[in-house]
Structure 1
Amino acid sequence: MTQQFNQPVDQVAAGNINNYLGPAEEKEPLSNAQRKRLNVLVAEVSETLELDARDIWRDVVHAHVGVDSINEIQRSQFSDAVFVLENFRETERMRVNTRLLVSRITSLTKEKKIYDERDAFCLRTFGERHLNHMTIEQLRQVLAFVEDYQLPEPAADTGLDLTPEAILAVVTRYPVHFGATFLIGALIGSVLF
């Protein structure tokens, strides 16, 4: 038996060469309990986030673990699958809550017509006026500001409108009354002054 080397070899060996590569990785499938646990967890996530369970399996679990079906998931990958599902649930829940807060803030701002006041508060407090770039805590503070904001009270109406148009309207509407009041005022004024 002869050996041929096509590139330089740093070591030379003679005799029988036995390569020991450690134990082969055991590919044990999931146990029934692990399978049930994953199914329950996917169902919980599906119900919580109102998403289709098949989409969660395909887009979250299978994509992260690198398999095409639950049958291909190994026991050693079980903890990864659980972690990715729980992480996905929390991330999506935070995203949904953020959208709800932004929606609530926007609707209250529109209802009260306080866009400038809200933006000024956000810039002064956080250095950012775009709601979609804020954290949950910042959005909570903005929501509290918008909910508690009191619109300035309009000036009290005295009931007297002394504009020339209003006076002319009174004169043309009640000419006899106006004439009588004018004459009485003129007589009293001429007697006293």
Structure 2
Amino acid sequence: MSDNDVTVGGARNRTAGRDYYEFNFKEASAQRDLRELVPAQRKELYDLGTRCTELGADSKDIWRAVFAELSVKQIGDITAEQFQKARNVLQCRLDALLEEEDKRRLVGKVLRMATEKDAGAELNDFCDVTFGRTHLNKLKRAELQRVLEFIQGFQVASLSIDATVSTPQRMPLREFLLIHRAHAAGLFVFGFIVGKFWF
């Protein structure tokens, strides 16, 4: 072996000598936390499911969505590690149901006020111009709040008293006789007969 040959297997010919540091990384534990849910966690999941059911959702559909997301068959199969994910699924469903409930309430309020103020056409025009659609159920919650502000601020145009109660104008005699010929002739004959007997 010549002096220029470098072997990397020995400690004598290393380029940097003692500058090498060896690190041994442990593999992440492949074991999962398979503990069952504690009663408080189970109760929290049941409470979220109950609140969703109270808002009109089918309980079977709610739990099917949770089980499908977690790849389990029943709530007893949910582990402590999966609890947070199950709670997030239920919370998202609850938030969506609350949003729908708020939208229904706002739509009802808008329609009731529009009926009271007789402003259905103005409401449709406002929605069509502002949002590009007139179907209130397809609007978002923020858009429905804008519609409610519009309908609350809407004022019915009141007619002035002069326009509603107009004094009848006098019709000239000649115009009356030309328009109401039959009445005028009957009145003339009646006056002639009454005048003949009284005078």
**TM-score class, shorter:** 0.5 to 0.7
Q: What residue is the counterpart of 1:92 in the other structure?
A: 97
Q: What residue is the counterpart of 1:149 in the other structure?
A: 154
Distance, in Å, in 1 between the alignment partners of 2:105 and 2:170 is 49
- What's the CA shift for 1:123? 2.8
Tell me the amino acid that sits aligned with residue 81 of structure 2: S
Residues 99/83 of structure 1: CA separation in 2 closer, same or farther (3 Å cut): same
Equivalent residue for 2:136, pick from 131, 138, 149: 131
Q: Do residues 31 (structure 1) and 42 (structure 2) align?
A: no
Q: What residue is the counterpart of 1:68 in the other structure?
A: 73
TM-score (norm 1): 0.60
Gaps of 5+ in 2: 1-28, 181-186, 188-199
- What's the CA shift for 1:60? 4.0
Distance, in Å, in 1 between the alignment partners of 2:142 and 2:106 is 10
- What's the CA shift for 1:44? 4.3
> In the alignment, is the contact (CA less than 8 A) between 2:33 and 2:81 conserved in 1?
no
Task: Calculate percent identity across the aligned residue pairs.
Answer: 27
- What's the CA shift for 1:127? 3.1
> In the alignment, is the contact (CA less than 8 A) between 2:107 and 2:137 conserved in 1?
yes
Tell me the amino acid that sits aligned with residue 39 of structure 2: N
Structure of greater Rg: 2
Residues 60/139 of structure 1: CA separation in 2 closer, same or farther (3 Å cut): same
Gaps of 5+ in 1: 1-21, 169-174, 176-193
Aligned length: 149
Residues 69/129 of structure 1: CA separation in 2 closer, same or farther (3 Å cut): same
Tell me the amino acid that sits aligned with residue 108 of structure 2: S
SS in 2 for 1:137: helix
| Range with greater deviation from structure 2 (27-36 or 89-98) | 27-36
SS in 2 for 1:150: coil
- What's the CA shift for 1:63? 3.8
Residues 146/42 of structure 1: CA separation in 2 closer, same or farther (3 Å cut): same
SS in 2 for 1:154: coil
Matches within 5 A, 1:4-83: 23=30, 25=32, 27-47=34-54, 49=55, 54-55=59-60, 58-83=63-88
Tell me the amino acid that sits aligned with residue 27 of structure 1: L
> In the alignment, is the contact (CA less than 8 A) between 1:42 and 1:56 conserved in 2?
no
Q: Pairwise CA RMSD of aligned residues? A: 3.3
Q: Which string of whole-angstrom CA distances, capped at 9 and with x for unpartnered residues, describes residues 72-100 of structure 1?
A: 11222111111011111111000111111
Distance, in Å, in 2 between the alignment partners of 1:102 and 1:155 is 33
Q: What residue is the counterpart of 2:165 in the other structure?
A: 158
- What's the CA shift for 1:160? 2.5
Tell me the amino acid that sits aligned with residue 66 of structure 1: S
